Amino acid sequence: MDSDHSAVARARARLADTPDAHLVEGDVLTSSELDDRRFDLITCVATLHHMPLIIALERMRELLAPGGSLRIVGLSANKTVIDRLVAGALVLPVRVASTIHRESGYPGMTTEQPRESLADIRRAAATVLPGSRIHRRFYYRYTLDWTKPL
């Protein structure tokens, strides 16, 4: 599910030959199509910062089946001195990795800068998803892992 038409169109093209792939253009926060469904796995890749943090985490928690897993690769804002020091130390390895992988931007897709720092995200996750694990990663990214209790 994605609200960005271009992203959904690209995903449909890539998954055209994949049986059982169901793509929905819509908003996870407001789509009534999801209201009666529960999922064993919900993933978000560079998506959470496009939504209100607490509301999005609560909605995903609600949509998970008991024992289901939430896996997020997110982007955080550099707001603290520690954030900036870590980001500065990673500039060279990130630039080298980007060059090696021939990375480019996302033409035609909606992008947005993250608003919350990693500390903000940790606090929100601790409240909404007790026991979640968050790790800082390259490219201003973090991973969040949580399993809904049975």
**In this predicted model, what pLDDT tens digit does every residue of 94-150 receive, in sequence order?**
777 777 877 766 666 666 788 899 999 999 999 999 999 999 887 778 999 999 999
pLDDT per residue over 1-10, tens digit each?
888 888 888 8
- Asked whether the whole model's pTM tops 0.85, one would answer no
CA pair distance 94, 90, nearest whole angstrom: 6
Residue 110 has a pLDDT of 64
Note the pLDDT of residue 106. 61
Burial of 118 (0-12, 13-18, 19+ CB in 10 A): buried
**Which pLDDT score, from 0 to 100, does residue 88 have?**
72
What confidence score (pLDDT) does residue 105 get? 63
Dihedral angle of Cα 104, 79, 61, 50, to the nearest 10 degrees = -40
Look at residues 71, 86, 88, 150 and name the one whose alpha carbon lies nearest to residue 118: 86
Residue 140's SS3 state is coil
pLDDT for 34-83, tens place per residue? 888 899 999 998 889 999 999 999 999 999 999 999 999 999 988 888 87
